[in-house]
């Protein structure tokens, strides 16, 4: 019997896209120019998650972050300036998404994956409230550790300890690095995520994030401090690959407010009943419900290559549950 289902609602989901989920990976053999072109067109030639995050990072670099020259010597002033900027971006951006979807309920449950709302009066969470718990971990350890990696990276760059690049000296490579950052981050995230699902680390570290079965914007960066350290370590790439403060600013936005965009619990932002911005993916929502699957994202091949792909069907759920039993037996 086929598991093919058109988008809609069923007993498990308030909304799901067409199932089974299709292979949107740009890494196919033989190479598919259409797939590669579609990936770049979706993400860089229209109003998209990547474009929004890049523009926020660019704005912070231009108007709010200190100059690279200022970061040559460690000083509490410029470090606090970066921390306060990142904190403000999280409060305004992530808080705005939460207000739109869960306070104002502007879309009601249209394109919302789960039937259930976020938890209140639940002792599983700090303060007995899922949103307050998620905000605590995001705004304390989350913002602190991403900021720490950013500050050290800028200090190294300002003192000539890491390779640098500017738009004027090499515009093609400069732009290529911007486009490649999400690919690198997805690769890094997949392997860090796999590591965090080793039972020893899962029970002691990653389970804090997985308390969020029904996710919302604040869930994205709600992690144990050890996980924040591993997650933010993708910024170490700037110590090796020629970069600029703009690349670092974009990377910070991709890691911090970007995590909120993939955890909204909704597929798209609607304005006047039209899809304006793709947000949370059903792909990652499946991971939060079934755990041992979909460690990466749908446009990268890692889950398919290494046998951890859940395509949204009942067969995919059975395979995932079998894999989990083997891991913990």
Q: Give the confidence band of 67 by pLDDT, cuts at 50, 70, 90.
A: very high
pLDDT tens digit string along 165-206? Answer: 999 999 999 999 999 999 999 999 999 999 999 999 999 999
The Cα 39–Cα 293 span in angstroms is: 23
3 pLDDT above the threshold of 70:
no
Q: Give the confidence band of 4 by pLDDT, cuts at 50, 70, 90.
A: low
Quickly count: other Cβ atoms within 10 Å of residue 99's Cβ: 13
- Give the largest Cα separation in the chain, rounded: 66
User: What pLDDT sits at residue 104?
Assistant: 96
Q: Which residues make beta-bridge pairs with 5? A: 19
End-to-end CA distance of the chain: 31
The Cα 231–Cα 142 span in angstroms is: 10
Least confident of 32-41, 261-270, 288-297: 32-41
Q: Which of 182, 94, 74 is nearest to 138 (CA)?
A: 94
State mean pLDDT over 46-67. Answer: 97
For tokens 């004027």, name the residue.
168
- The answer to whether the Cα torsion of 317, 318, 323, 327 is positive or negative is positive
Q: Give the confidence band of 1 by pLDDT, cuts at 50, 70, 90.
A: very low
pLDDT tens digit string along 217-268? Answer: 999 999 999 999 999 999 999 999 999 999 999 999 999 999 999 999 999 9
The Cα 295–Cα 191 span in angstroms is: 8
The Cα 45–Cα 52 span in angstroms is: 12
State mean pLDDT over 118-146. Answer: 96
Q: Give the confidence band of 33 by pLDDT, cuts at 50, 70, 90.
A: confident
């Amino acid at each position: 019997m086929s598991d093919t289902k058109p988008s809609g609602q069923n007993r498990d989901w308030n909304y799901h896209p067409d199932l089974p989920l299709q292979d949107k990976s740009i890494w196919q053999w033989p190479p598919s120019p259409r797939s590669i072109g579609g990936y770049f067109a979706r993400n860089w030639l229209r109003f998209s998650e990547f474009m929004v995050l890049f523009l926020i990072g660019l704005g912070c670099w231009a108007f709010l972050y200190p100059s690279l020259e200022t970061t040559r010597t460690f000083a509490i002033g410029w470090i606090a300036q970066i921390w306060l900027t990142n904190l403000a971006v999280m409060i305004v951006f992530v808080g705005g998404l939460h207000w739109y979807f869960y306070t104002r309920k502007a879309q009601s449950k249209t394109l919302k994956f789960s039937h259930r709302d976020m938890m209140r009066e639940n002792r599983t969470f700090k303060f007995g409230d899922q949103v307050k718990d998620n905000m605590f971990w995001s705004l304390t350890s989350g913002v602190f550790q991403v900021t720490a990696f950013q500050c050290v990276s800028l200090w190294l760059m300002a003192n000539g300890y890491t390779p640098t690049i500017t738009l004027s000296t090499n515009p093609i490579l400069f732009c290529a690095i911007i486009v490649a950052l999400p690919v690198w981050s997805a690769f890094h995230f997949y392997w860090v995520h796999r590591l965090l699902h080793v039972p020893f680390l899962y029970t002691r570290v990653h389970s804090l994030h997985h308390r969020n079965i029904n996710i919302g914007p604040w869930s994205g960066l709600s992690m144990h401090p050890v996980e924040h350290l591993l997650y933010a370590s993708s910024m170490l790439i700037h110590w090796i690959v020629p970069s600029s403060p703009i690349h670092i600013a974009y990377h910070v936005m991709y890691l911090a407010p970007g995590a909120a965009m993939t955890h909204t619990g909704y597929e798209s932002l609607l304005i006047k009943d039209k899809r304006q911005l793709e947000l949370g993916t059903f792909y990652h929502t499946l991971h939060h419900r079934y755990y041992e699957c979909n460690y990466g994202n749908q446009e990268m091949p890692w889950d398919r290559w290494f046998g951890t792909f859940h395509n949204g069907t009942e067969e995919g759920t059975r395979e995932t549950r079998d894999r989990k039993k083997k891991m913990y037996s």
